[in-house]
Amino acid sequence: QITTLINHKDKPKRSDKTLQAIQRVGQAVNLAVARFVTVGEAIADENHELKEEMDVACIEAKRAAIAQLTDVASLYHPESDSHTTIFTDKTGIVKAARLLLSSVTKVLVLADRIVIKQIITSRNKVIATMEQLEKVSTFQEFVQIFSQFGNEMVEFAHLTGDRQNDLKDEKKKARMAASRAVLEKCTMMLLTASKTCLRHPDCESARINKDGVFHQMRLALEQVIEIVTDSRSNGENELASISIYSGIKVFKNKVEGLRANLYFLSKENLSTMLEVILEHTEDFTDSAYTSHEHREHILELSKQAKMELEQLFSVWMQAQNQKTKDLMEDLEVAILKMCQCMNELKRQLHNAATSLAADLLKYHTDHMVLKALKITGVEGNLEAIAEYTCKLSEQKEQLVEMCRLLRHVSGTEPLEITCIHAEDTFQVTGPQIISAAETLALHPSSKIAKENLEVFCEAWESQLSDMSTLLREINDVFEGRRGEKRVYLSLPRPGKHNTNLKALKPVKLDTEEQAKIAKLGLELHLLTCEVDSETEKWEDQDNRFVQHVQGMSSMAYSMYLFTRGEGLLKTTQDLFHQAEIFAAEGTKLASAFHGFSDQLHDDGKPLLLLEHEKLIPMCQQLQITAKTSVQGKSATFTKVDACIQRTRNVMTLLCQLLPLCCRLLRKNRVGNSCLKPAPPWKENRAQTGTNAKCPERTDEMLGLKPLENHVTNMTFLE
């Protein structure tokens, strides 16, 4: 709009249409500036250390008299009037625009400093709470601190998610996404690893397992700060020189540049560039996992590339001395041959890396080693554990080598960073699985040790699944489909199951939509952790009340997996159906709450009733939202967003209700006066079975149920 004002004709016709157009633009700019200044002033009020600078920038923005220069009333006056307008003083509008843009830039820079400060402050809170978590010695203390940690992680995820969307550098955006993915996965790992260490404090492998998770989270937190503050760690500059794909691209551009200028480059520079490329090809030829056929082709093409470069040098030197038509034609032929040879080499390297990746991913898709580790761990078979840990270490080396080769042919810096992230994940997760398996083998009856191993195995399986997606994206780049956005597989077009295959085709979400869904998913994930931790405090796990809550937690967890493109919910229709079941289960839970409150004669009853009354309207709203029919991508996304938000609200309420109910039950055991005998909502317990399980209940305190329990419950409900 400012550009429109500045670029107007020096002597435009003063028609009503022109005057109205100028006024509309001026008013729009004035309104936008007013809103912008309001936001800036609000930011200044919340951040006193920058208030003075922000206020000055906002005042300068107000001083830009664009609205006055475009006032229609003054524009109708003759030019002899003393009043200055856009017609009489174009210089004035230019100065006003410069002042406005300058002040707006200052406000944006100051706001950016505040955002960076918020992220750093949030990171410091997370680290401080992590240090407390490392030092806890009791389950009760851990539950309290982990609840605080979850809230701080949600805040950090919100801030970093917004920052990731604001980043313009695709490389930084990919690094931020990788770091945030590590933090998200490590949140559950930290929970189970810490529980295992608390349950088995003298177990060395459990301690190693927990320490590994804390170390990984600290590294990810530091990398986020490096990206936000634009600082670089040691070795960061090495990234660009490692990819063969990038090296070949630069080399070809230099060679083709000889057509326009024969003197801008030296022979030594070209020769050095090719030597670096061929040196990196040794990663393929020296790899034990490269097939003999691919190795031979790569060596042959490397030799051919050297010969083509010598031929190019010969013709190039002659053309510098004498620019004849024949020599220039020979140079063109030499350039084409050189580029064709490099293209063939790039294709051969791509085929070698992708074929190896496809074979390995297919071979390891059954997860036989992980399954064997779980079985032998429960059996307490240390010899078998040692055997299978060796096999897992071998598998890890294969996958790490696969990531290194894929990195060479990734094609773009974001994909290259994704390959690095995958390599690091396999390097770290492999030893963690081994330590978790050793802990289970030493304590085969420990449910929490079994759950811990499940969580780390799930992280491994998830990374293998991500590698399949990464492989497809690398192939897309190589085949020239680079411009396509990543498809968010969890959001297909609306349509009924099996009635129209085209209706189930995935929809492409923009970055902001994906980030919004991911944030909600993370919040839901942390709430399920907190709810599960609260239910573990109940001694009677067969209680109908507890079973309702556990079922709802399982459904909420499956909805979280949906936001990641994982789990049993494959389409939006699956999600909406799940939301309906969740709402129905919440209504049943409300009835159980009502029965529970009828038995109370305690001061806590009014508070319980007040919170309980919120549950039914929340569930009704969710049910209405889930049943509402929608069409089109935008409407479907809005419905998905609303369903997950309403589910999150219900889970938040459960986090408030569960501790209150548990506290009232404890009062009943002490004073035996809060409740009447034999509550109708409580099932009779088999004394022998319960007593036998009491010691193991301690193992399962304050944690998520194993992943297979979530899946089992999900299958039953479906």
How much is the pLDDT for 15? 62
Higher model confidence: residue 587 or residue 393?
393
What gap in Å lies between CA 321 and CA 304, rounded to an integer?
A: 26
How much is the pLDDT for 83? 46
Strand, coil or helix: what is 208?
helix
pLDDT at residue 319 is higher than 90? no
Question: Burial level of 672, CB count in 10 A (0-12/13-18/19+)?
Answer: exposed
Q: What is the pLDDT of residues 243-284, one digit of tens each?
A: 788 889 889 988 888 888 877 778 888 899 999 999 999 999
Average pLDDT over residues 506-517: 62
Q: E strands, 154-265, where?
A: none
Q: What is the pLDDT of residues 426-472, one digit of tens each?
A: 999 999 999 999 999 999 999 999 999 999 999 999 899 889 889 98
Domain 511-670 bears CATH identifier 1.20.120.230: yes
The fold of the 244-287+294-357 domain, in CATH, is: Four Helix Bundle (Hemerythrin (Met), subunit A) (1.20.120)
pLDDT at residue 12 is higher than 70? no
pLDDT at residue 565 is higher than 80? no
What are the structural domain ranges in the chain? 1-73+89-111, 139-230+365-473, 244-287+294-357, 511-670
Query: Which is it for the CA torsion 692, 696, 702, 703, positive or negative?
Result: negative
What gap in Å lies between CA 374 and CA 8, rounded to an integer?
A: 74
Q: Which two tokens stand for residue 634?
A: 């935008």
Q: What is the pLDDT of residues 194-233, one digit of tens each?
A: 999 999 999 999 999 999 999 999 999 999 999 998 876 5
Average pLDDT over residues 292-299: 93
How much is the pLDDT for 90? 58
To the nearest whole percent, how much of the chain has pLDDT over 70?
75
Higher model confidence: residue 385 or residue 503?
385
Topology match between the domains 1-73+89-111 and 511-670: yes
- Average pLDDT, whole number, for the chain? 78
What gap in Å lies between CA 565 and CA 509, rounded to an integer?
A: 13
Higher model confidence: residue 332 or residue 484?
332
Q: Which two tokens stand for residue 27?
A: 């008013």
One-letter identity of residue 381? N
Q: Are 209 and 439 in contact (CB under 8 A)?
A: yes
Q: What is the pLDDT of residues 640-693, one digit of tens each?
A: 888 999 999 899 888 888 887 777 777 765 555 434 333 333 333 333 333 333
Q: What is the pLDDT of residues 566-577, one digit of tens each?
A: 777 878 888 888
What gap in Å lies between CA 126 and CA 122, rounded to an integer?
A: 6
Strand, coil or helix: what is 506?
strand
pLDDT at residue 483 is higher than 50? no
Q: Are 589 and 545 in contact (CB under 8 A)?
A: yes
How much is the pLDDT for 588? 83
Q: Provide the total of helices (H) and of strands (E) in the chain, helices listed first.
A: 26, 0
> Three-state secondary structure along 367-382?
CHHHHHHHHHHHHCCH
Higher model confidence: residue 237 or residue 413?
413
Q: What is the pLDDT of residues 167-200, one digit of tens each?
A: 888 888 899 999 999 998 898 899 999 999 999 9
Split at pLDDT 50, 70, 90, the class of 699 is very low
Average pLDDT over residues 335-344: 92
Average pLDDT over residues 4-9: 54
How much is the pLDDT for 296? 93
What gap in Å lies between CA 252 and CA 339, rounded to an integer?
A: 6
- 145-154, 257-266, 497-506 — which one is most confidently predicted on average? 145-154
Q: What is the pLDDT of residues 462-482, one digit of tens each?
A: 899 889 889 988 988 888 765
Superfamily of domain 1-73+89-111, CATH level 4: Alpha-catenin/vinculin-like (1.20.120.230)
Using alpha carbons, list the distances in angstroms from residue 532 to 126, 188, 214, 422, 663.
Answer: 22, 12, 22, 30, 16
Q: Are 239 and 418 in contact (CB under 8 A)?
A: no
Split at pLDDT 50, 70, 90, the class of 701 is very low
Average pLDDT over residues 98-121: 84
How much is the pLDDT for 671? 54
